[in-house]
Structure 1
């Protein structure tokens, strides 16, 4: 204490510190308690709003993809394990999904319409609640759809809300039961090349100082060819078959996808 007092004696801040000490001593204890309580309320409110909310509200797993990629059948298989004849979705469907892990985690599985005229409004509706996004790809005709798949992925991965929240991304390479289906590795490589090309063609639009405009963010790292490893979220590619190799009467092949969802 003597060392501290001696130090303060020669400090230019001594008059201010002494004045502050006197003011605190002169204050009514009830007033001081009120100030402390008010500060505590502010801190707790900040904690609840920015920490707890961001961690607990996002409990949805969104199934997205182009039309006829097999999302709705995948939705049915994940929930009940049963085959179900489906048709093109024009609205969303949701149900509780219990992950196959020791924690018994339960998420809200939501199947979003795949038609390009409906995708934006449903993505806007649910993106803030997404803990994970399962992007379903038709592996059998991927070569024909690679451009469309990449364009949809580009919209997702440059969305400001999705970039900030960084939900896990699982690319479900569906219809692996079909002979000509592309592997998950090949699909990843071709998507990286296509997304890199898209980024170049659209980069002129991203002209603001922080690399964003109109709610869009720059994809990947500047000066480097795009790779999924550059994204702020965890990305996993999983091969699956909602129909299964034995058709309607057999089981689906969803082990890789279910393992990915179990990690959420």
Structure 2
């Protein structure tokens, strides 16, 4: 009888040992599974983010007609001066930078065309270059400010948050205004423009486009109020008044390398 009890005790002891070892193995297996899942999720999220970044690889060049957009596009892609004319369709090409390749899209500046082409490409925009003719700016300030307002208040732009370069072009001309003067005048004009634009908020369903208030209410507009968007002002010249083969696009190249 004692032998039977002893044997039963040994079996029970062996059974308890086996269960404890199984438990350790289960914990180790569970830890491996959890670690593997964490790594897998991290890899998947990385590729999703990279895919989204790659999907938004366009640099849009836009602005009013005759501001120098197409010459800027030609300079960036070929480095050469080219005679240009008013575009009726977009120009697009790949630009190779130190950090990678971006697709540069020159959007027509005509009032009847620019909205359509901008809407076609805004979802893919990593950056926007808004070109201003610094010579005719004071005369065209209303149109310049209104188109810029439309871009900066666009719901897709505010969601994707591409970098924005406001490029004060044609600085080689004697009558060109500097970017600080242009910035101040734009802020004043947009302050006035907001009054009429804000009244369109109720007509969103009629236009089919979302219109948002730009800046802070009850305060004069300043670009610094748009903290969700990285807005940079810079000066440039697509050609020299003395030599068409000379240009000053250093600020543009610096900005492009930062955006890429």
- TM-score, normalising length: structure 1: 0.76
1:55-83 CA-partner distances (Å, limit 9, x unpaired)? 33110000001000010011111111111
Q: Which runs of 4+ in 1 moved over 3 A?
A: 43-54
Distance 1:200 1:46 in 2: 46
Deviation track 1:36-95 (CA, whole Å, cap 9, x = no partner) reads 9xx99xx78994797444333110000001000010011111111111001100000111
Counterpart Cα distance in 2 of 1:118 and 1:242 = 23
Deviations along 1:155-204, whole A, 9 cap, x unmatched? 10111001111111001111101100000000111111111111122212
Partner of 1:80: 78
2:60 paired with 1:62: yes
CA shift, 1:243, in A, is 1.6
**Does the Cα contact within 8 Å between 1:94 and 1:108 map onto a contact in 2?**
yes
Contact 1:60/1:131 (8 A) holds in 2: yes
Q: Supply the distance in 1 between the matched residues of 2:232 and 2:89 (Cα, whole angstroms).
A: 27
Name the larger-Rg structure: 2
Number of residues paired by the alignment?
Answer: 226
Please give the alpha-carbon distance, in whole angstroms, between the structure 2 residues aligned to 1:188 and 1:215: 25
Q: 2:173 aligns with which of 175, 178, 185?
A: 178
- 1:182 is paired with a residue whose SS is coil
Give the number of the structure whose residues are more often helix, by fraction: 2
Partner of residue 143 from structure 1, selected from 119, 124, 138: 138
The equivalent residue for 2:95 is: 97
Mapping of 1:26-65 within 5 angstroms? 47=45, 51-65=49-63
- CA distance change for structure 1 residues 57 and 257 in 2, over 3 Å: closer, same or farther? same
Alignment partner of 1:233 out of 226, 229, 245: 229
Task: Give unmatched runs, 5+ long, in structure 2.
Answer: 1-33
Counterparts of 1:238 and 1:73, CA distance in 2: 17
Call closer, same or farther: CA 1:228–1:77 in 2, change over 3 Å: same
Instruction: Provide the C-alpha distance between the structure 2 equivalents of 1:51 and 1:220, rounded to a whole number of angstroms.
Output: 29
Check the 8 A contact 1:163/1:217 in 2, yes or no: no
Structure 2 residue 188 is matched with structure 1 residue 188:
no
Contact 1:130 1:167 in 2 (8 A): yes
In 2: Cα distance, 1:52 partner to 1:245 partner: 43
Partner in structure 1 of residue 158 of structure 2: 163
Deviation at 1:216, TM superposition (A): 2.1
Aligned residue runs from structure 1 range 15-34, under 5 A = none
Among 218, 227, 231, the alignment partner of 1:223 is: 218
CA RMSD of aligned residues (A): 2.9
Partner of 2:254: 259
Does residue 104 of structure 2 align to residue 109 of structure 1?
A: yes
